[in-house]
Amino acid sequence: GAVVSQHPSWVICKSGTSVKIECRSLDFQATTMFWYRQFPKQSLMLMATSNEGSKATYEQGVEKDKFLINHASLTLSTLTVTSAHPEDSSFYICSASPVSSGSFDEQYFGPGTRLTVT
């Protein structure tokens, strides 16, 4: 089956610094990738839709200047949390939809990245 990887799987950073999270589709091309955030004991909340070669679309309430998304190729999207604060500590998960599927029904989720801001 299709595989989506994320790197790093776990990161600790100090308040005020920036951290970059990568999402890669390993064996398929993805025009569109999605970024979700999951706080402890809560469900996933969609943050933004990442489209290859164009600007990301952010959900209401998500600061686009704080969460920078770059979808530079058909297999890689990155999420950079800028000037991170403790309240940004969360589990970040990406998903990707294969170009070949022709729809967004088929999505594969990455294993997630746990961010802890101290």
Partner 1 sequence: KQEVTQIPAALSVPEGENLVLNCSFTDSAIYNLQWFRQDPGKGLTSLLLIQSSQREQTSGRLNASLDKSSGRSTLYIAASQPGDSATYLCAVNSDSWGKFQFGAGTQVVVTP
113 neighbors 9 (Cβ within 8 angstroms): yes
Write each residue from 52 to 91 as x if it is in contact with partner 1 (CB under 8 A), else as -, in one continuous string: ---------------------------------------x
Is the Cβ of residue 18 or residue 26 nearer to partner 1 in the bound state?
A: 26
Among 16, 17, 27, 46, indicate the residue that binds partner 1 (CB under 8 A).
46
Q: What's the sign of the alpha-carbon dihedral 70, 73, 78, 82?
A: negative
CB of 16 to partner 1, least distance (A): 26
- How far from 111 is each of 11, 39, 79, 102, CA to CA, in Å? 14, 15, 15, 24
For tokens 């190729």, what's the residue?
A: 73
Q: Does 39 bind partner 1 (CB under 8 A)?
A: no
Closest CA to 24 of 37, 39, 7, 11: 7
Q: Does 98 bind partner 1 (CB under 8 A)?
A: no
Is the Cβ of residue 81 or residue 92 nearer to partner 1 in the bound state?
A: 92
Among 35, 97, 115, 117, indicate the residue that binds partner 1 (CB under 8 A).
97
CB of 77 to partner 1, least distance (A): 14
Cα(24)–Cα(13) distance, rounded to whole angstroms? 22
